[in-house]
Amino acid sequence: MTTIKYKRILLKLSGEALAGEQGYGIDPAVINGIATEIKEVVDLGVEVALVIGGGNIFRGVAASSKGMDRASADYMGMLATVMNSLAMQDALEKLGIDTRVQSAIVMQQIAEPYIRRRAVRHLEKGRVVIFSAGTGNPYFTTDTAASLRAMEIQAEVILKATKVDGVYSADPNKDKNAIKLPTLTYLEVLQKGLQVMDATAISLCMDNNLPMIIFDMTCRDNIKRVVLGERIGTIVKGGDSND
């Protein structure tokens, strides 16, 4: 009998993760690979929610730095996350996984409005729920949306998928002396300015004592390994990081 450590998870994917080697847009091979891994976890009986960024299509912060109105740019970024969410929904449903996209911006032809109780009910029925359009508000990132939604659905952990196997003391690609930090507290992340998630998202997790695991998405079966309790990546939690 397989023992599952986490029964309900929120998986945070960056938009860039869907672009693959091409660097922009959606790479079908990449999104199908991620969908296959999510299916394996769902088949174990884990309830899975997703938040996907939009950086592979449009990044609001980058546009506002070039003179575009920040609120308008952020709304465009939110719409990019909806496009990614629909692509992921399609990939999951081709594998036979019932999936619902809920949008913080109402667009009833293509997604349900975000309703917390309905999202929880979908999860209880074994459906994957993809939260799109961020929080529905400009000036908030999809990291913050992931933290907020994870709290609302009472997820046991946030899984932050990246291209490196955890958090390092420095950029491992630039500094050969960078060391991996297997455990961190939220306070250490904020004080050291580590680029795990933005400060608002970290503060939300800290206030509600929600653990976060940063792991390498490019390694096959890593999502499954995390939910089964294997120590991979870096775990960020409250209290003493040596616990």
Give the start-end residues of each E strand in 147-190. 157-162, 167-168, 180-181, 183-185
Q: State if pTM tops 0.85.
A: yes
Average pLDDT over residues 185-207: 91
Confidence of residue 243 (pLDDT cuts 50, 70, 90): very low
pLDDT at 131 over 50: yes
Q: Which CATH architecture has domain 8-237?
A: 3-Layer(aba) Sandwich (3.40)
Provide the residue ranges of all domains of the chain, joining segments of one domain with +: 8-237
Give the pLDDT of residue 164. 84
Taking the C-alpha atoms of residue 26 and residue 81, their distance in angstroms, rounded to an integer, is 12
Q: Give dist(CA 86, CA 42) in Å, integer.
A: 19
pLDDT score at 112: 98
CA distance 170 to 192: 11
Count CB-CB contacts under 10 A for residue 160: 25
Other C-beta atoms lying within 10 Å of the C-beta of residue 139: 14
User: How far apart, in Å, are the Cα atoms of 165 and each of 68, 94, 161, 181, 233?
Assistant: 35, 29, 9, 10, 5
Q: Which pLDDT value is given to residue 239?
A: 67
The string of pLDDT tens digits covering residues 140-161 is: 999 999 999 999 999 999 999 9
- Name the E strands within 14-98: 47-52
